[in-house]
Structure 1
Amino acid sequence: MVSGTRRLSVALHPNWRNTSTFSPYLNRCSRMSGRDLRAFITHCRTQDGAGKHLVWKRDGSVGSRCQPTEYQRLEAALQARRQESETIAQKVQKTLSAARSSKETSLLRQHRQVWSQEHLRLRTAEEAAVSDLEGFVAQLGSTNGLQDHGSTNELQEHGLHLERERELFKMATVEPVLQLRDDLRFRMDELLLQRLTLHPSEGLQIQQQVNLVKQQQGAVTGRLRAELLALEEEMAALGLEDCVACGSEADPEPVPGEVLEADCPYPELKLSVLQSFQTLAESYRSRQRGITERMGGMDRCCGWSASDHLCFQWTVGQYGPDLPNHRALCADMLLRLLPHRTRQDLMDHERAWDWLRFSQAQLRALAQAGQRDRGELLARALVTLEEARLAHQEELLLHRERRLQLDTCTQLRDKVQQWRARQEEVSQLEALMAARRQEEEERRLGRRRDSEASVRSHQRDKLKEFYARQQDRKERLERRDEERLALLRSSMEEQARRDQERVRYREETLQLRRQEREAGELQRQREQEETRTRLEALRSQVAVVAEADPERMMGETEAWRSRQNEGCEPQKPLYNINTYTDSQIVSDPRVRVEQALREAGLHQTPYARQVLADIRPPRAPRRDTVSAGLRTDSTPGSYEGK
């Protein structure tokens, strides 16, 4: 069958070995069965002798002749099919490019929406933080009084210093770009209005200005980036994150100091409590060790650099789960921000970050559970130890009470015996004491009278000493109050002097700012006046002066006289007069505006000069009417634009 297929290909095309056009056809014929091939090979009879070809029969012998094949028609059909397939491929390519562009536009629109929401949230947070800071500073200044008034003023002065630095930075970086943009827009407007082309030298100058501004902005950006890196390195050198991490993950003591210092009369009970704390700490330590081992020594950046990981965190934080198709948007933005990372890298990093956060959450939950269980065990241990101590104290108190009762009974028995002996002695001595008491009473009355006299004299002396001490104390208090008053007055005078110096400094600062603003305003007015003077000079140079000639305006024209005379030739004037008609003069808007201003009495005011300078003529002046002096002093078209 393969030999029959080859003979058919030779009959169809003589150069079949060097032709790739019929390769699909040959492949299809090679796959045909014997029955299909016999049905395909037909016997044809030739109609003419031109272009005769041999046809092979089924048994391989030469048969009758057939009509020659039209290769040109087949080639044309093949070319048409190729052209059609190329057209379809181009249409498909255009459709794919349009779909890609629409998809890109949709993604960018969604990114802009997300960034607008994030920008609004960040601006709101910034405003809230600034308002909180200002409120805190105001509250601090109003509540602390004179003690912290200096620190509050330092904060305010520091804020003013930062504001001045921000303004200076803006004037040095943003203002040149804005000025260059306004200048370029003004030049483009002039070129569009005058329909002129830019001179190569001016284009080179503009390009140099743009390159200079780009270099300046690049230098500023590089300096800011270097300062940012220096600050990040300084913050990293402080080790705050390590300190926080160490403080949060540090294991507490296995046994609290309260339990160790607690007084327990039963050593076995205290030993069991200590073993309970050791067992609890060991169990949580083993679980924490297992979680740490599962993390596999992963750092907080999950193997990436700090900048890439920070960019990844910010982007994932912006695209929250409440957004539709947030994972695709987040992946697209990450691929745009991190072009050196592949999608697989992003997926691996996301899995690592999720695993890190899950492990950290497990560690935090484990630490919280450990603290909770340790607190509960500590509370139970303290209660148990306190109950044991109270029980021991109760036993000691009961034993002490029993011994006290026995001692009390013995003492009472001895006291009763002593009381009986003393009672007999008392009854014997009472009579003797009654006699002695009478004699003592008489002597006491005499001594009392003498002592009262001496006491009165002694009291008088004490009263005099008391008054002297009171006078001395009063004088000391007055001297101390006077010294304190002088010290307070000196401190208040010093504070008043400082406040006056501060107020004077602020007044000088405000006066300096006011003078700078006035100088700027005077400079601006001077520039406006110079511009106005220059414009007036330019107007006076290019003004068209036409003398009033009513007779010439109202007289007969040459065309009218020619139509009236129709043949007779009157006396011709010495020269032709070229002037304007009243409708042409009135059609100029400048004449009508000038007439209205003259009627209102405003034709000699600065407002009239400004209005007339802004009004354009109905038809632009020709280039040959502009003087060479104006062209050398200003750029082309500057007179018309101004």
Structure 2
Amino acid sequence: MNKRDQLFMTIQKNDSSDNLIFHMKNEIRSTKYKPVDYQQLHALTEAKKLASASTELKIRKTVQTSKLSKEQTLIKQHKQVWWQEHQRLNEVRYKMESEIKSLFSEENIGNECLSDLMNFEQELSEQWCTYLKNVINPIQQLREDLKYRQHHISQYSHSHSESNSMKVLEEVDFVKKQLKAVYEQLRLEQQEIENYLSDWSMKILDHSSEERSNLLSQLPMELETLECPYPDLKSSILNEFYNFTEKYQKKLQDSDLQLEDIYRNFQLSDEDHWIYQAVLDQYPGDLCGRRTLYLDMLQRCLPHKSRHDLVEHEKYCNQYRFAKEQRRILILSWNKNRRDFIQKAVLTLAEACATHEMESMLAKDRKKQQEVCADLKAKVRRF
């Protein structure tokens, strides 16, 4: 296509556009264009809007109904779990109470530990009575007094009732301040006791773990007391035991470091983790939909934590539990292999002692035979 053809096409297009503008300006009718009924289009648009709004409302109602149904289903499942847990805890409580009663029977009255426990129980009972007398009873008395004043306040004049109201408010504020101080003191005592018990539990667990590790690392008395006629053999066995112990100690240290690293990644505080563990313990492992249920309950019990935080904490808890189980298996394997090693070492030393004794007997027999031969040779020479 040359430049002249392009110019011709441009002129043709411009002419058609000008003709269209000319027709529209002069209102010249054309069969190509039909008049538009804007009222009908507006009515159709409004009908579409109403249909769309109705559909959206139905969808919202369906979603809301679905959420409500799901919530009711979850609550029903939670109730079933709670009822089973309630029954289990009742059984445990009755069992513990019966054990405590049997423990405090007449046969064990002279036990010093039980005597201390009974004295402690008596002390707690006295403290509870003092708390009721100094805190709870005054509150109940104040409550009854306020009810009485409220009932009879309408019998007095406005100024007198206003002055009484001010006195009542001052008294209530004073009691609130006292209770706040008491509750704060109790909270601090509770926290102190919990920290004390937590520290002791950690010390006991650490001591138990360390004691078990030390027991496994110590040289067994069986190997230490046994005598061996071959010093090199016993030294070799002891060196093998030390190498064997060192290998397991290294694995145990790596396992402890892994547990510490995982524990540092926990997303919840100690108190929240206690709630987390208590909630998980309520739902049996074979329960259908267990994870959905306990995550839903955790979001209710820990509203300040997001689902993402709970899922992350769950992941690290599973890793921690797996690492702890691996540590337990490692100690069991160490203990088993240690017993097997000691048994084989004792058998080896016993065989060495038996071999040495046999060699000694053979040496004695050989010496005796040599002496007999020498005597016979001497007799032969004399003849």
Q: TM-score, normalised by structure 2?
A: 0.68
Instruction: Indicate whether 1:89 and 2:53 are aligned.
Output: no
Instruction: Indicate whether 1:346 and 2:310 are aligned.
Output: yes
Q: Is the 8 A contact 1:54 1:62 kept in 2?
A: no
**What residue identity is the alignment partner of 2:232?**
E
Say which one has the larger Rg.
1
> In the superposition, relative to structure 1, how do residues 344 and 155 fare at CA in structure 2: closer, same or farther (>3 Å)?
closer
Q: Is the 8 A contact 1:265 1:389 kept in 2?
A: yes
The separation in 2 between residues aligned to 1:395 and 1:282, in whole angstroms, is 36
Q: How does 1:41-190 map to 2 (within 5 A)?
A: 63-64=30-31, 68-141=35-108, 148=110, 155-167=117-129, 169=131
The separation in 1 between residues aligned to 2:352 and 2:225, in whole angstroms, is 15
Identity of aligned residues (%): 29
1:328 to 274, 280, 292: 292
Distance apart, 1:321 and its partner CA = 2.2
The separation in 2 between residues aligned to 1:151 and 1:282, in whole angstroms, is 41
State the partner residue of 1:379.
343
**What residue identity is the alignment partner of 2:101?**
E
**What residue identity is the alignment partner of 2:301?**
L
Q: Is the 8 A contact 1:140 1:152 kept in 2?
A: no
State the partner residue of 1:227.
189
* 1:2-57 CA-partner distances (Å, limit 9, x unpaired): xxxxxxxxxxxxxxxxxxxxxxxxxxxxxxxxxxxxxxxxxxxxxxxxxxx99989
The separation in 2 between residues aligned to 1:70 and 1:314, in whole angstroms, is 71
> In the superposition, relative to structure 1, how do residues 89 and 319 fare at CA in structure 2: closer, same or farther (>3 Å)?
same
State the partner residue of 1:630.
none
Consecutive unaligned residues in structure 2, runs of 5 or more:
1-19, 149-160, 372-383
Q: Is the 8 A contact 1:55 1:64 kept in 2?
A: no
Distance apart, 1:357 and its partner CA = 1.5
Task: State the superposition RMSD in angstroms.
Answer: 4.7
* 1:154-192 CA-partner distances (Å, limit 9, x unpaired): 644543443344455467777788899999999xxxxxx
Q: How does 1:234-273 map to 2 (within 5 A)?
A: 234-238=196-200, 239-249=203-213, 252-253=216-217, 255-273=219-237
> In the superposition, relative to structure 1, how do residues 242 and 94 fare at CA in structure 2: closer, same or farther (>3 Å)?
same
* Secondary structure of the structure 1 residue equivalent to 2:305: coil
Distance apart, 1:256 and its partner CA = 3.1
**What residue identity is the alignment partner of 2:105?**
A
Distance apart, 1:381 and its partner CA = 1.1
Distance apart, 1:73 and its partner CA = 3.7
Consecutive unaligned residues in structure 1, runs of 5 or more:
1-52, 143-147, 187-198, 408-642
Identify the structure with the greater helix proportion: 2
Number of aligned positions between the proteins: 337
The separation in 2 between residues aligned to 1:387 and 1:378, in whole angstroms, is 14
* Secondary structure of the structure 2 residue equivalent to 1:81: helix
> In the superposition, relative to structure 1, how do residues 122 and 301 fare at CA in structure 2: closer, same or farther (>3 Å)?
farther
Distance apart, 1:281 and its partner CA = 2.6
Q: Is the 8 A contact 1:54 1:66 kept in 2?
A: no
Q: TM-score, normalised by structure 1?
A: 0.43
Q: How does 1:497-576 map to 2 (within 5 A)?
A: none
Distance apart, 1:330 and its partner CA = 0.7
The separation in 1 between residues aligned to 2:358 and 2:280, in whole angstroms, is 66
Distance apart, 1:314 and its partner CA = 1.3
Q: Which has the higher contact order (CA 8 A, sep 6+)?
A: 2
> In the superposition, relative to structure 1, how do residues 77 and 209 fare at CA in structure 2: closer, same or farther (>3 Å)?
farther
The separation in 1 between residues aligned to 2:209 and 2:287, in whole angstroms, is 33
* Secondary structure of the structure 2 residue equivalent to 1:298: helix
Q: Is the 8 A contact 2:267 2:312 kept in 1?
A: no
Q: Is the 8 A contact 1:55 1:65 kept in 2?
A: no
Distance apart, 1:394 and its partner CA = 5.4
Q: Is the 8 A contact 2:279 2:298 kept in 1?
A: yes
* 1:289-318 CA-partner distances (Å, limit 9, x unpaired): 565566573238735421222222111111
Instruction: Indicate whether 1:367 and 2:334 are aligned.
Output: no
The separation in 2 between residues aligned to 1:217 and 1:114, in whole angstroms, is 37
State the partner residue of 1:631.
none
Q: Is the 8 A contact 1:264 1:388 kept in 2?
A: yes
* 1:83-130 CA-partner distances (Å, limit 9, x unpaired): 332233233323322332332233233323323332332333233223
2:283 to 316, 319, 324: 319
> In the superposition, relative to structure 1, how do residues 156 and 244 fare at CA in structure 2: closer, same or farther (>3 Å)?
closer
* 1:463-494 CA-partner distances (Å, limit 9, x unpaired): xxxxxxxxxxxxxxxxxxxxxxxxxxxxxxxx
> In the superposition, relative to structure 1, how do residues 270 and 283 fare at CA in structure 2: closer, same or farther (>3 Å)?
same
The separation in 1 between residues aligned to 2:138 and 2:69, in whole angstroms, is 37
**What residue identity is the alignment partner of 2:104?**
V
Q: Is the 8 A contact 2:259 2:323 kept in 1?
A: yes
